[in-house]
Structure 1
Amino acid sequence: MPKASLLVCDDSNMARKQLIRALPAQWPVLVTQVSSGQEALDQLRAAPSDLLLLDLTMPVLDGYGVLAALKAEGLAQKVIVVSGDVQEEAIRRVKELGASAFLKKPVDPELLRQTLDTLGMLDATAGTSLTVPAQALREPTVSFRDAFREVVNVAMGQAAALLARVLGVFVQLPIPNVNILEVSELHMALADAQRGNGLTAVCQGYIGGGMCGEALLIFHDSEVADMARLMKWQQQDHSSMEMLLDMSSVLIGACLSGIAAQLDVSFSQGHPQVLGEHASIDELIRINSQRWRKTLAVEVSYSIEGHNIHFDLLLLFTEDSVPLLTGKLAYLME
């Protein structure tokens, strides 16, 4: 019979599946899964679990909100935060809110076992004949979109941590959007970004493992000066465009590296270009219209806490890249 109860809270089916598979094989535990922070709170109010494995980036009520509510309501609860947001400030904040430990995604099974052992969750006297109950091994079905969104979630967290270190700020992370767009929809979306809305876009091509695409980093012109000040950019020596190109290379490179590491591929990046100066949205669409009949579009909207700075990162994978991506994700989705 199970000796411990475990609540896994993550809005991603992929993340919950990875967590369940990472649990010690001989740990007699009963696992319950929820996909939102509010569900987790409701569950814990009704019947506390021995341990909560908690994601941070979730819609409506995120992991910070769950931890704050547990603390405010005096609900004594062991919590291990498992997140793609690996900023030092994120780790400090969850510890301050009462989390027992922090593990980065995708979770390392040995680190998870060690953490469980440190928290006294594993019964050292249990024999190896004990197995996890069948109901604890119920794994969610994972779609391509969910699996790739989780891969991007981890990658964007790594990119944000790098940006946070460079700028000395805290980057607020969203849930990435992953969609298949027809070329006409893509054209409309990108054209809007260039149609006198005070936006500047930097474009950088990438290729690797038979996959290719374009990364776009879109800035609000009104926030470029604030970004330059944050980066301590010397305006008299360098233009704001050079600053944006430099930042784009760092952020796009970090995000692509995070994706590549999880998929076991390597991406080469082209030189970044400011759209409108060296290329236009229309020209980008014209060159890629055949490859972009159906585009896998990933959108990540970053914002910097305490500053009026927001920017969008778009990763546009060509239609021919989708089957290759699907193959790379298959082992995660099975």
Structure 2
Amino acid sequence: MPTIPLLICDDSNMARKQLMRSLPPEWDVSVTTATNGREGIEAIRQGLGSVVLLDLTMPDMDGYETLAAIRAESLQASVIIVSGDVQEEAVRRTLELGALAFLKKPADPDQLQQTLQRLGLLGESANQWGAPALSVDQTPISFNDAFRETVNVAMGRAAALLARVLGVFVQLPVPNVNMLEVGELHMALSDAQANDRLTAVCQGYIGGGIAGEALLLFHDSEIADMAQLMKIDDADYSDMEMLLDLSSILIGACLSGIAEELDVAFSQSHPQVLGLHSGIEELIRLNERRWKKTLAVEISYSLEGHNIHFDLLMLFTEDSVELLSRKLAHLMS
């Protein structure tokens, strides 16, 4: 049986390597990689992707747009989605667009093999000795790439929970991961507040020597719409209580996903509303005394069909970075 051209389309170097290692060892494939949908479509046009393992959350051209382009051009490709966005609606939409199956990240090797077998994509083993060993790209995985992929999986789980609670589809971006001087963070938050009135909810967390604070920023103009979406008609249930409950859901789910990936257990403080400008200034001043740098993860959630979006900032202490690096090195090995 001829070698199968397999395309792995994902913007994360870590995710691509994890998938390479998860492929059935006897599967005779030649692997091409792409970092976004545009590169992926070009590879399929060139006959390099009769089977495609496709991510959804990518810059430039995401997985949904890629599926739509495959259909529009009538390209011959058997597509399996491998994504951290595990919302039920995400699964439904991708299958409707022509994907043959949906696997959650990180892909379980047994589940991947069973899916390929079920879809008739494995064919017969190359020979009794098995297929030739695939050479995995030796490009080193950067800390930012590895942590971004870890957060991507966690953020997808949080979105799935939020989607169930609110009955909406949550649109997810590629998360931003940066080491920032606390002064830079201060400036970024000040700029954000200059454009709109914000309310911030803060929640601290610590576990396995890793510590930080999560900051959820809501635009005040959207809070009433949020309350309506949550179908709150209890006069005793204030907007602030709603924001605290919503924050607990989002921050808790995101931390839980990160904890599971890194094999740590986080304990969380009670969320508190920091209020408007003065509250965030106070948080920055406090952190400026404790640490000079912060590992900042920014996730911008928006709700499809509603003018509602909010930003989750996860700020890890400078001391946490070394421990996070060690945990990620274990994941990458």
| TM-score range normalised by the length of the shorter chain | over 0.9
Q: 2:252 — aligned with what?
A: 253
Q: 1:192 — aligned with what?
A: 191
Q: Aligned equivalents of 1:200 and 1:100: distance in 2?
A: 43
Q: Which amino acid aligns with 1:257?
A: S
In the TM superposition, what is the alpha-carbon distance from 1:134 to its structure 2 partner?
Answer: 4.1
Asked whether the 8 Å contact 1:16–1:140 carries over to 2, the reply is no
In the TM superposition, what is the alpha-carbon distance from 1:278 to its structure 2 partner?
Answer: 12
Q: Aligned equivalents of 1:225 and 1:208: distance in 2?
A: 35
Q: Aligned equivalents of 1:278 and 1:196: distance in 2?
A: 12
Q: 2:231 — aligned with what?
A: 232
Asked whether the 8 Å contact 1:48–1:77 carries over to 2, the reply is no
Pair 1:292 & 2:287 matched: no
In the TM superposition, what is the alpha-carbon distance from 1:233 to its structure 2 partner?
Answer: 1.4
Q: 1:321 — aligned with what?
A: 320
In the TM superposition, what is the alpha-carbon distance from 1:81 to its structure 2 partner?
Answer: 0.5
Q: Aligned equivalents of 1:162 and 1:143: distance in 2?
A: 29
Per mean C-alpha deviation after superposition, the further-off stretch among 168-177 and 229-238 is 229-238
Q: Is the alpha carbon distance of 1:196 and 1:3 closer, same or farther for their aligned partners in structure 2, counting shifts above 3 Å? A: closer
1:208-230, Cα deviation, whole Å (9 max, x unpaired): 11011110110111110110011
Q: 2:68 — aligned with what?
A: 68
Pair 1:85 & 2:94 matched: no
Q: 2:100 — aligned with what?
A: 100
Q: 2:35 — aligned with what?
A: 35
Pair 1:26 & 2:29 matched: no
Q: Aligned equivalents of 2:128 and 2:138: distance in 1?
A: 23
**Secondary structure at the counterpart of residue 248 of structure 1:** helix
Pair 1:58 & 2:52 matched: no
Q: 2:168 — aligned with what?
A: 169
Asked whether the 8 Å contact 1:297–1:315 carries over to 2, the reply is yes
In the TM superposition, what is the alpha-carbon distance from 1:280 to its structure 2 partner?
Answer: 1.6
Asked whether the 8 Å contact 1:14–1:332 carries over to 2, the reply is no
Asked whether the 8 Å contact 1:201–1:219 carries over to 2, the reply is yes
Q: 1:309 — aligned with what?
A: 308
Asked whether the 8 Å contact 2:6–2:48 carries over to 1, the reply is no
Q: Is the alpha carbon distance of 1:198 and 1:116 closer, same or farther for their aligned partners in structure 2, counting shifts above 3 Å? A: same
Q: Aligned equivalents of 1:2 and 1:293: distance in 2?
A: 57
In the TM superposition, what is the alpha-carbon distance from 1:193 to its structure 2 partner?
Answer: 4.1
Q: 1:265 — aligned with what?
A: 264
1:189-214, Cα deviation, whole Å (9 max, x unpaired): 23334457211110011111101111
Pair 1:141 & 2:140 matched: yes
**Secondary structure at the counterpart of residue 30 of structure 1:** strand
**Secondary structure at the counterpart of residue 180 of structure 1:** strand
Q: Aligned equivalents of 2:165 and 2:138: distance in 1?
A: 39
Q: Is the alpha carbon distance of 1:125 and 1:20 closer, same or farther for their aligned partners in structure 2, counting shifts above 3 Å? A: closer
Asked whether the 8 Å contact 2:55–2:63 carries over to 1, the reply is yes
Per mean C-alpha deviation after superposition, the further-off stretch among 2-11 and 251-260 is 2-11
Q: Aligned equivalents of 2:60 and 2:192: distance in 1?
A: 27
1:267-315, Cα deviation, whole Å (9 max, x unpaired): 1110111113798223222322243311000000000000000000000
Q: Aligned equivalents of 2:301 and 2:83: distance in 1?
A: 17
Asked whether the 8 Å contact 1:223–1:308 carries over to 2, the reply is yes
In the TM superposition, what is the alpha-carbon distance from 1:129 to its structure 2 partner?
Answer: 1.0
Q: Aligned equivalents of 1:125 and 1:5: distance in 2?
A: 15
1:142-172, Cα deviation, whole Å (9 max, x unpaired): 1000000000000000000000000110000
Asked whether the 8 Å contact 2:79–2:101 carries over to 1, the reply is yes
**What TM-score results when the alignment is normalised by the length of structure 2?**
0.95
Q: Which amino acid aligns with 2:121?
A: M
Asked whether the 8 Å contact 1:291–1:319 carries over to 2, the reply is no
**Secondary structure at the counterpart of residue 141 of structure 1:** coil
Asked whether the 8 Å contact 1:2–1:133 carries over to 2, the reply is no
Q: Aligned equivalents of 2:74 and 2:201: distance in 1?
A: 48
Q: Is the alpha carbon distance of 1:275 and 1:193 closer, same or farther for their aligned partners in structure 2, counting shifts above 3 Å? A: farther
Asked whether the 8 Å contact 2:52–2:78 carries over to 1, the reply is yes
**Secondary structure at the counterpart of residue 80 of structure 1:** strand
In the TM superposition, what is the alpha-carbon distance from 1:177 to its structure 2 partner?
Answer: 0.2
Per mean C-alpha deviation after superposition, the further-off stretch among 294-303 and 121-130 is 121-130
Aligned residue pairs total: 333
Q: Aligned equivalents of 2:237 and 2:328: distance in 1?
A: 42
**Secondary structure at the counterpart of residue 238 of structure 1:** coil
Asked whether the 8 Å contact 1:20–1:139 carries over to 2, the reply is no
Pair 1:47 & 2:47 matched: yes
1:96-135 equivalence runs, <5 A: 96-135=96-135
**What TM-score results when the alignment is normalised by the length of structure 1?**
0.95
Q: 2:152 — aligned with what?
A: 153
